[in-house]
């Protein structure tokens, strides 16, 4: 499988500092910022700084350092935002057309702060 990364996507522009974002935390490999259209009281996006299109691209081709940093950052941000433990949260990674991915740079949505209902609408 090969992936084609579009460097003009909006998260690439955020990473280049061309447009602003509300940063929650940043590491050498990972950036966490608030979603511009939050769908829950807490809604942040965790993105790798590397040029990866989707979760499967990241999982296949990112370095171990990038993957470890990404997931350790998820843990830290859940703790910072008060989502760890009983209350919980939901993590969503949309990919491609069926996943309804709008921005073609891998991002993990972290949502919480209220009951989020069923995982998927029943059809």
Question: Binding ligand AMP by CB under 6 A: which of 5, 9, 25, 35?
Answer: 35
Compare residues 82 and 96 and give the one whose CB is closer to ligand AMP: 96
What gap in Å lies between CA 32 and CA 52, rounded to an integer?
A: 15
Kind of pairing between the strands at 108-112 and 90-92: antiparallel
Selected range binding ligand AMP among 1-9, 30-38, 51-59, 60-68, rule: CB under 6 A: 30-38
C-alpha span between 39 and 42 (Å, rounded): 8
Positions of E strands within the chain? 23-26, 30-34, 42-48, 90-92, 108-112
* Segment near ligand AMP (CB under 6 A); pick from 1-9, 23-31, 95-103, 112-120: 95-103
Q: Determine whether 107 is an active site residue.
A: yes
The residue (of 17 and 85) whose beta carbon lies closer to ligand AMP is: 17
Work out whether 21 is an interface residue with ligand AMP (CB under 6 A).
yes
């Amino acid at each position: 499988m090969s992936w084609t990364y579009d460097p003009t996507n909006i998260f690439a522009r955020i990473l280049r500092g061309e447009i602003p974002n509300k940063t929650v935390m940043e590491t050498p490999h990972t950036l966490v910022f608030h979603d511009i259209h939050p769908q829950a009281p807490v809604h942040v996006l965790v993105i790798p700084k590397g040029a990866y299109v989707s979760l499967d691209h990241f999982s296949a081709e990112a370095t171990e350092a990038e993957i470890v940093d990404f997931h350790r950052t998820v843990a830290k941000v859940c703790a910072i935002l008060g989502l760890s433990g009983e209350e919980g949260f939901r993590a969503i990674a949309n990919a491609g057309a069926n996943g309804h991915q709008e921005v073609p740079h891998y991002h993990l949505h972290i949502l919480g702060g209220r009951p989020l209902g069923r995982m998927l609408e029943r059809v």
